Chain A
Amino acid sequence: MPQIPSSVVPNFSDQPAPKSIQLSVALDGAGWHPAAWREPGARPADLFTSAYWADLAFEAERGLLDFITIEDSLGLQSEHFGTGADHRTDQVRGRLDAALLASALGPITSSIGLIPTVTTTHTEPFHVSKTIASLDYASNGRAGWRVQVSSRRHESEHFGRRDIPEIDRKWARTEHGRRVIGELFDEAADAIEVVRRLWDSWESDAEIRDAETGRFIDRDKLHYIEFEGDHFSVKGPSITPRPPQGQPVVTALAHAPIPYQLAARGADLVFITPQTIDDIPHLVAQVRDAERLVNRTGTPLLIHADLLVLLNETQRGATERLARLNASDGTDLRSDAAIVATTPQQLADQLVEWSAAGLDGFRLRPAVLPDDLRAITRGVVPALQRAGLFRAGYEQDTLRQRLGLPEAVNRYAAIA
């Protein structure tokens, strides 16, 4: 029997049980370290097969994780942000469409939430709405959407419909830069609003199959959404009936006030990127400020922290692994999220501590797949279970229920 460290011994006293930790993984290519694909266990030749992704999803489900997210973008991966694809041949390049990938995982998994990334800038919200709704059908209520703004010029050149200037840090702080970015995020907020209205555009009991009158649907339970915004208008209703969850779970990654406001306007869950535990109260306060600023009503945002993790049985082994991967790539790993190279037990301790500082959960970005995913499901999860902070089995059916989100009330039915 492994020794249970005292820091995480469950507390059986009368005090309220500590809130359990929500936990997910972000899947991307061979993992978040650019040299991950060269590790012995990596399967770089399989990245574009469904078997590869199925194995990852099965492993995540084995670990009882709340959900997986799948990264995506409408451009080729690059080490530069704004200036388009690089010409590197030594890192993973190319990726499958995340929404389709998640759909392929729907019928073969049974409990885990599936959250693909889909951009709001070029993709039609009408398409997004029915795609995520259909994922919700194919997974029996386990779908979500990670909203992503596409602010990269080279992606706009793949569409040729609009000109997005090259965005770099300095320019982003100019007045013009702020305006352009603000518009992209306003458009994203409109896109989320459209998608959500379309999900509500059929009342759940609209299909009546009334042989008496010959009517298949009650057309009074279908609603035109009549959305008119600054960037586009959409009529509705959806062609797809209301999905099983009513409203699939909307998430967004955010690092700054404008993105926090976007999350506060339209999302259920926000991923933030504290570097240390001391950042947490401040970042949480910023999220709550954003909620007030946009007059968010209803359930407050769930707040999850992103951590890029690299695990080993010993601390020293973890540090050495990171050094080896960095050497293999030629540069030190950098990330918007904190990089944690440690043991599964120490990571579990850190999650317990950080969550007590004001977080609902974590999205872990495994540095290497499948190695670090396995370390999470077979090391970190059991440690959290021992601490009484993680479930022993899947209990709720839908992703919304599992995340503790209230039942989604249909805005149109409510008016009637």
Chain B
Amino acid sequence: MSTRKQIILGAHFPGVNNTTVWQDPDSGSQIEFKSFKHMAESAERGKFDFLFLAEGLRLREQRGKIHDLDVVGRPDTFAVLAALSSVTSNLGLIGTINATFNEPYEVARQFATLDHLSAGRAAWNVVTSSDAFTGANFRRGGYLDRELRYERARELVQTARELWDSWAPNAIAADKQTGRFLNEENAGAFAHTGDQFEIRGRFNVPRPPQGHPVILQAGDSAQGREFAAQTADAIFTRHGTLDEGIAFSRDVKARAVRNGRSADDLKVLPGVGFILGDTDADAEEINREVRLQQVSPQTAILLLEQVWNRDLSSYDADGPLPKVDPDVESISIIQGRARIVDGVLETAQRYRALAEAKNLSIRELIVEVTSRGLFVGSARTIADKLDEFVLAGASDGFILVPHIVPHGMDRFVDEVVPLLQERGALRAEYDSGSTLRENLGLTPATPATVWAERAGDLEAAAS
């Protein structure tokens, strides 16, 4: 077994966005369980570390109407992952779960259950992207402003860890002879007092097999990065170029170290698309076709509207960019998706310059500017590129986003995986009985008290 750095691989079951090419005759259901099963089985066949599910809690709207061009609709994250736990045996199961519309007791219980059902393969991607728009679907309603969202997320994860720690690893005796079921009278006892939650009682799920399910964070602001550096085991990013990746990794790993952790405690996992061809030229050709399917004329206008924040429906996608500037004043016309508010004018400027220099129509421009994080080429080219990223320190691995459901991962598994295995960059077999935490090369779960102490030290150091 080679000791060279291993590439972490995750399969992203494509969610609701324009990357998923539903017009393709090979495209199947994004809802039926057999689609999830197929992709999970492919990923497991390819000795991937995990399958990843994104989440959104309200259907997207643009100009006040439900988005109808992209794939819409998805099942519940927990239900799908629990169902997958019984048809897979080694694959990690990562669920994106919002920190604003869930309560610690419940969410800790769901992840602990998933960890038990999967014998140690559960992970939580903590996201905070929420606003009053999404809140309209929830009892607690509510909008939390940016600052508070991460505060709540931080305390939510801390509290979940306290709940997972509330049962000792050996709390269950189950000794028929002595009649002792529990080794401790107070299994699950907890009391948490903080700004966000004041809760106490007894947690009712025994300690998860991993101790703590693995925590991921996705979010790019300075606050998001700091949250990841303080709390997460891995960070899901969008940085798809080598230079951006190196800069990003340096930044977040340095933040982890400043938070009293080691650089290796925080794995960096960019989400990347890939287009696989028989040759590089073939892949480029496929890519052109796929990009045009992903960016239909209607989609091009909608994506431009997301920057311009204006109704551009009267514009021709094959024509030039609007002369009018983006509207930065009024509220966003797109809802249900995080909007870049900073730098909208700069972005528009950049788009204009690019369109001018290359003589691009709206659609051509959108095709160009939205192809970030995409690896195109033959199997060998893609294997080389993935490896190059990891060896250069631009990432610890990848969350691969196929553009076809559910067979989009098959060819990668058949063609790229063997090449990675050949060079010792990917396991040939799972270690028997290994947990996701172990597969990712993470250290055993750090007790909640240690996380809390670290946060306390930081506050003390800051004051």
Residue numbers of A with Cβ under 8 A of B are 37-40, 42, 44-45, 47-50, 54, 73-77, 84-85, 87-97, 99-101, 103-108, 122-127, 130-131, 133-135, 137-138, 140, 154-155, 157-161, 202, 207, 209, 211, 214-219, 222, 231-237, 239-241, 328
> Size of chain B's interface in residues, with CB distance under 8 A?
77
Q: Is the CB of B181 within 8 A of A90?
A: yes
Residues of A within 8 A of B199 (CB): 157-160
CB contact under 8 A between A106 and B78, given known A89-B183, A160-B199, A216-B70: no
Which residue in B66, B71, B106, B138 is a CB contact (below 8 Å) of A122? Answer: B106
Q: How far apart are the CA atoms of A162 and B36 in the complex, in Å?
A: 38
Residues of B within 8 A of A216 (CB): 22, 68-72
Which residue in A73, A100, A241, A328 is a CB contact (below 8 Å) of B82? Answer: A100
Chain B 129-147 near chain A by CB (<8 Å), digits 1 or 0: 0000000111111000000
Q: Is the CB of B188 within 8 A of A76?
A: yes
Q: Is the CB of A105 within 8 A of B86?
A: yes
A interface secondary structure, majority: loop
Given A89-B173, A214-B298, 17 additional A-B pairs, CB 8 A: A50-B117, A74-B204, A76-B187, A76-B204, A90-B180, A94-B167, A94-B204, A94-B206, A100-B82, A104-B85, A154-B201, A159-B199, A161-B103, A207-B73, A215-B68, A235-B137, A239-B74
The answer to whether the Cβ of B65 comes within 8 Å of any Cβ in the partner chain is: yes
Q: Is the CB of A96 within 8 A of B117?
A: yes
Residues of B within 8 A of A108 (CB): 86-87
Residues of B within 8 A of A92 (CB): 181
Q: Is the CB of A134 within 8 A of B202?
A: no
Residues of B within 8 A of A94 (CB): 167, 172, 187-188, 204-206
Q: Is the CB of A124 within 8 A of B37?
A: no
Which residue in A42, A54, A85, A100 is a CB contact (below 8 Å) of B78? Answer: A100
CB contact under 8 A between A54 and B86, given known A97-B109, A130-B76, A216-B72: yes
Q: Is the CB of B57 within 8 A of A99?
A: no
Q: Nearest Cβ distance between residue A91 and chain B, in whole angstroms?
A: 6
Can you give 14 A-B contacts (C-beta < 8 A)? A48-B206, A50-B85, A76-B201, A89-B181, A93-B188, A95-B205, A96-B117, A100-B113, A124-B101, A124-B138, A124-B140, A126-B57, A127-B76, A231-B139
Q: Is the CB of A157 within 8 A of B179?
A: no
Q: Is the CB of B31 within 8 A of A241?
A: yes
The answer to whether the Cβ of B285 comes within 8 Å of any Cβ in the partner chain is: no
Scan residues 58-110 of chain B and give those whose CB is less than 8 A from a CB of chain A.
58-59, 65-66, 68-76, 78-80, 82-83, 85-87, 101-103, 105-106, 109-110
Q: How far apart are the CA atoms of A244 and B70 in the complex, in Å?
A: 22
Q: Is the CB of B138 within 8 A of A126?
A: yes
Nearest B residue to A39, CB-CB: B176
Q: How far apart are the CA atoms of A96 and B33 in the complex, in Å?
A: 22
Most chain A CB within 10 A, of B138, B141, B173, B197, is at B138
Q: Is the CB of A87 within 8 A of B185?
A: yes
Q: Nearest Cβ distance between residue B129 and chain A, in whole angstroms?
A: 14
Q: Is the CB of A100 within 8 A of B202?
A: no
Q: How far apart are the CA atoms of A108 and B202 in the complex, in Å?
A: 32
Residues of B within 8 A of A209 (CB): 22-23
CB contact under 8 A between A236 and B176, given known A89-B184, A218-B68: no
Residues of A within 8 A of B381 (CB): none
Q: Is the CB of B78 within 8 A of A131?
A: yes
Residues of A within 8 A of B72 (CB): 207, 216-217, 222
Q: Nearest Cβ distance between residue A50 and chain B, in whole angstroms?
A: 5
Residues of A within 8 A of B186 (CB): 87
The answer to whether the Cβ of B339 comes within 8 Å of any Cβ in the partner chain is: no
CB contact under 8 A between A239 and B56, given known A37-B181, A133-B76: yes
Which residue in A125, A138, A328 is a CB contact (below 8 Å) of B83? Answer: A138
Scan residues 356-384 of chain B and give those whose CB is less than 8 A from a CB of chain A.
none
Q: Is the CB of B204 within 8 A of A95?
A: yes
Residues of B within 8 A of A123 (CB): 106
Q: How far apart are the CA atoms of A133 and B140 in the complex, in Å?
A: 22
Residues of B within 8 A of A159 (CB): 103, 105-106, 199
Residue numbers of B with Cβ under 8 A of A are 22-23, 31-33, 37, 56-59, 65-66, 68-76, 78-80, 82-83, 85-87, 101-103, 105-106, 109-110, 113-114, 116-119, 136-141, 167, 172-174, 176, 179-188, 197-206, 296-299
Q: Is the CB of B185 within 8 A of A237?
A: no
Residues of A within 8 A of B180 (CB): 89-90
B interface secondary structure, majority: loop
Q: How far apart are the CA atoms of A200 and B206 in the complex, in Å?
A: 37
Residues of B within 8 A of A42 (CB): 176
Q: Is the CB of B202 within 8 A of A75?
A: yes
Residues of A within 8 A of B176 (CB): 37-40, 42, 44
Q: Is the CB of B57 within 8 A of A137?
A: no
Residues of B within 8 A of A222 (CB): 59, 66, 72
Residues of A within 8 A of B141 (CB): 232-233
Which residue in B76, B114, B182 is a CB contact (below 8 Å) of A93? Answer: B182
Q: Is the CB of B31 within 8 A of A107?
A: no
Nearest A residue to B72, CB-CB: A217
CB contact under 8 A between A75 and B201, given known A50-B85, A103-B79, A138-B79: yes
Q: Nearest Cβ distance between residue A163 and chain B, in whole angstroms?
A: 12
Q: Is the CB of A137 within 8 A of B33?
A: yes
Nearest A residue to B85, CB-CB: A104
Residues of B within 8 A of A131 (CB): 76, 78-79
Q: How far apart are the CA atoms of A99 and B118 in the complex, in Å?
A: 15
Q: Nearest Cβ distance between residue B118 and chain A, in whole angstroms?
A: 8
Q: How far apart are the CA atoms of A126 and B197 in the complex, in Å?
A: 22
Nearest A residue to B208, CB-CB: A48
Q: Is the CB of A234 within 8 A of B136?
A: yes
Q: Nearest Cβ distance between residue B201 and chain A, in whole angstroms?
A: 5
Q: Nearest Cβ distance between residue A234 and chain B, in whole angstroms?
A: 6
Nearest A residue to B61, CB-CB: A219
CB contact under 8 A between A73 and B204, given known A101-B82, A124-B101, A124-B138: yes
Q: Nearest Cβ distance between residue B135 and chain A, in whole angstroms?
A: 9
Nearest A residue to B137, CB-CB: A126
Q: Is the CB of A104 within 8 A of B117?
A: yes
Most chain A CB within 10 A, of B74, B106, B110, is at B106
Which residue in B69, B75, B82 is a CB contact (below 8 Å) of A137? Answer: B75
Which residue in B118, B181, B296 is a CB contact (below 8 Å) of A44? Answer: B181
